[in-house]
């Protein structure tokens, strides 16, 4: 497993991390706890040291499952555990809003530590910028946690270069977590270059584009319950067929040129991008992690990258960017 150092810290992480949004069940049609625990333990046992979660993923459920999975077999000591802060929700889970006040940060970190069954968090990330709280207040609260030893690194998620710049004025900033995959590349214009210039590690989410790059997606797929793909334009016609065609062409290229699966190609492409540190691989059961071992030990040539670019342009005539599902601020919640 390839590893990388988080600049400004002594944290070394695997370049593939386990993303656990789907494990929480919310907006993914529910969860199977036993399968999720096995997926987490399998990931760590296979050398994936980075596990990323958040309180809002299932309203504490994902963190609880991660904590349970890592509590056995001394796995926590071999894990770079990342979670988030700055989102609040109503008791009935029908409303979510951004809230990154000092008081909220102090409350959330203790709640997360309890659910995760640990006494420190390796990477603590502001989930979304809170427009009603000065970034200075949020940054100072995180620095207090850093000094107290409750966290080892300060991170953000879904922040623009301007917002990262403001965070850096008031304290250290070690990581940023934006969306990034073969189908969603907006961060190449600004976020990736900014992070590279300032030594900020990029831990990106959505590596397989919500399953579109899994190699298992088909046009007759039905998304159950509150699954967010029901309203995602990439998963609705006519775009759905375009993205599936691109995925099929990429899968054929991966097989014929490297003997690899589509997920392995998608993640290898990410790891070969300049300024990219680690990619999160979402999985709800061990079987979804099976292609992970195919990623290491090879790289894409300039010719491969050009051919991949051509495949995307040949098949996707009506592209759309990432659908952030950004929660509202407190005054609009």
Q: How far apart are CA 193 and CA 199, in angstroms?
A: 10
Cα 72 to chain centroid distance, Å, stands at: 24
- Residue whose pair of structure tokens reads 């670019």 in the numeric block: 309
State how far the alpha carbon of 227 is from the alpha carbons of 25, 27, 203, 301, in Å. 9, 4, 24, 37
In b/e form, how buried is each residue of 28-42, taking b as 16+ CB within 10 angstroms? bbebeeebbbbbbbb
Indicate which residues carry an active-site annotation: 57
284 by Cβ neighbours in 10 Å (0-12 / 13-18 / 19+) ranks as buried
Q: Which of 97, 84, 20, 63 is nearest to 326 (CA)?
A: 97
E-assigned strand segments in 259-328 = 278-282
Cα 309 to chain centroid distance, Å, stands at: 23
């Amino acid at each position: 497993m390839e590893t990388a150092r988080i600049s400004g810290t002594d944290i070394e992480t695997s370049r593939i991390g386990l993303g656990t949004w789907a494990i929480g069940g919310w907006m993914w049609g529910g969860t199977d706890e036993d399968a999720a625990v096995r997926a987490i333990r399998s990931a760590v046992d296979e050398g994936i040291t980075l596990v990323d979660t958040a309180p809002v993923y299932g309203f504490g459920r994902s963190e609880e499952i991660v904590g349970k999975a890592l509590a056995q077999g001394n796995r926590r000591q071999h894990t770079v555990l990342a979670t988030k802060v700055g989102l609040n929700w109503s008791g009935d889970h029908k409303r979510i809003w951004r809230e990154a006040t000092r008081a909220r940060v102090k409350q959330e970190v203790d709640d997360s530590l309890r659910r995760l069954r640990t006494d420190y968090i390796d990477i603590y990330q502001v989930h979304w910028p809170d427009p009603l709280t000065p970034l200075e207040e949020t940054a100072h609260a995180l620095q207090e946690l850093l000094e107290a030893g409750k966290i080892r690194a300060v991170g953000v998620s879904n922040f623009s270069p301007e917002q990262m710049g403001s965070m850096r004025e008031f304290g250290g900033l070690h990581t940023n977590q934006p969306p990034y995959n073969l189908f969603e590349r907006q961060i190449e214009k600004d976020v990736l270059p900014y992070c590279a210039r300032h030594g900020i590690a990029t831990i990106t989410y959505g590596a397989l584009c919500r399953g579109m790059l899994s190699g298992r997606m088909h046009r007759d797929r039905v998304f159950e319950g509150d699954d967010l793909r029901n309203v995602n334009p990439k998963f609705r016609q006519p775009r759905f067929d375009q993205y599936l065609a691109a995925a099929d062409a990429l899968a054929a290229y991966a097989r014929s040129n490297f003997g690899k699966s589509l997920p392995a190609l998608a993640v290898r492409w990410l790891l070969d991008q300049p300024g990219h540190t680690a990619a999160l691989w979402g999985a709800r059961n061990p079987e979804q992690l099976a292609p992970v071992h195919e990623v290491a030990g090879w790289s894409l040539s300039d010719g491969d990258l050009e051919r991949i670019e051509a495949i995307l342009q040949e098949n996707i005539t009506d592209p759309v960017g990432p659908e952030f599902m950004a929660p509202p601020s407190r005054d609009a919640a």
